[in-house]
């Protein structure tokens, strides 16, 4: 958190209000304009302040929440994958599957099969630990991850490529 955000408790409360709304309804569309209205700040200021306060842009935060929820439903229910995709905010099974694989490294079907085969081993582990261990590590944008995996290593002139 930067000094600018750390010294603005009112702004932090507003950002947390928007973050709580996303957590409560992660299946809904949350464009920056809507989140900015919830926080009573301009869209540009909201996007900068949110990233500064929480370490990732609002879209990436929302994507992480959706993937976490979908992973839990895949592990803990027998619902069809299409139903899980729709419940967690995707409009298409293809987009859900592609994004899920990009973020987690496995398809929804593969995650479900792995979780079901290992379910007995996790019975003694508290749920909060399981959730934390299985939280997606979304440190870069999904589109950037796809480009890197495809071998397209073109980097913007003002950006350094990570090793």
pLDDT digits (tens, 9 = 90+) for 61-88: 999 999 999 999 999 999 999 999 999 9
Q: Are 32 and 65 part of one and the same domain?
A: no
Instruction: Determine contact, residues 59/29, Cβ cutoff 8 Å.
Output: no
Report which of residues 155 and 58 the model is more confident about.
Answer: 58
Any idea what the Cα angle at residue 134 is, between residues 31 and 36, rounded to 5°?
Answer: 15
Q: Are 13 and 73 part of one and the same domain?
A: no
Q: Are 31 and 68 part of one and the same domain?
A: no
| Domain end marker among 55, 71, 87 | 55
Which range, 5-14, 27-36, 121-130, is most confident?
27-36
Instruction: Determine contact, residues 109/85, Cβ cutoff 8 Å.
Output: no
**153 pLDDT higher than 60:** no
| Domain end marker among 39, 55, 71 | 55
Number of domains in the chain: 2
**142 pLDDT higher than 90:** no
Q: Are 29 and 43 part of one and the same domain?
A: yes
Query: pTM for the whole thing?
Result: 0.69
| Domain end marker among 32, 55, 78 | 55
Q: Are 71 and 45 part of one and the same domain?
A: no
Q: Are 31 and 104 part of one and the same domain?
A: no
Among 16-30, 33-47, 105-119, name the one with the lowest average pLDDT.
105-119
d(CA 34, CA 16): 14
- What is the domain range of residue 127? 60-150
Percentage with pLDDT > 90 across the chain: 63
**157 pLDDT higher than 80:** no
Q: Are 47 and 106 part of one and the same domain?
A: no
The mean pLDDT of the chain is: 84
In the prediction, which pLDDT does 125 show? 72
Residue 45 lies in a domain: yes
Number of other CB atoms surrounding residue 32 within 10 Å: 17
The alpha carbon dihedral of 123, 112, 85, 30 has a sign of: positive
Show the tokens assigned to 141: 């944008």
Any idea what the Cα angle at residue 78 is, between residues 77 and 79, rounded to 5°?
Answer: 95
The HSE-up count of residue 135 (CA atoms within 13 Å, CB side) is: 14
CB pairs under 8 A, 24+ apart, for 104-107?
A: 104/67, 104/71, 104/136
Phi/psi of residue 106, nearest 5 degrees: -145, 160
**5 pLDDT higher than 50:** no
């Amino acid at each position: 958190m930067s000094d600018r955000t750390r010294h603005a408790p009112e702004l932090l409360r507003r950002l947390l209000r928007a973050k709580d709304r996303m957590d409560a309804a992660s299946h809904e569309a949350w464009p920056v304009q809507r989140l900015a209205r919830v926080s009573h700040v301009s869209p540009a200021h909201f996007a900068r302040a949110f990233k500064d306060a929480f370490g990732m842009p609002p879209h990436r935060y929302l994507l992480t929440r959706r993937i976490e929820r979908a992973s839990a439903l895949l592990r803990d229910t027998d619902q069809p994958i299409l139903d899980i995709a729709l419940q967690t905010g995707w409009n298409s099974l293809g987009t859900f599957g592609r994004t899920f694989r990009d973020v987690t490294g496995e398809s929804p079907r593969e995650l479900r099969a792995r979780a079901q085969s290992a379910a007995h081993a996790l019975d003694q582990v508290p749920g909060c630990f399981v959730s934390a261990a299985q939280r997606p590590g979304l440190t870069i944008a999904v589109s950037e991850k796809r480009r890197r995996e495809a071998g397209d290593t073109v980097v913007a002139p003002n950006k350094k490529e990570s090793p």
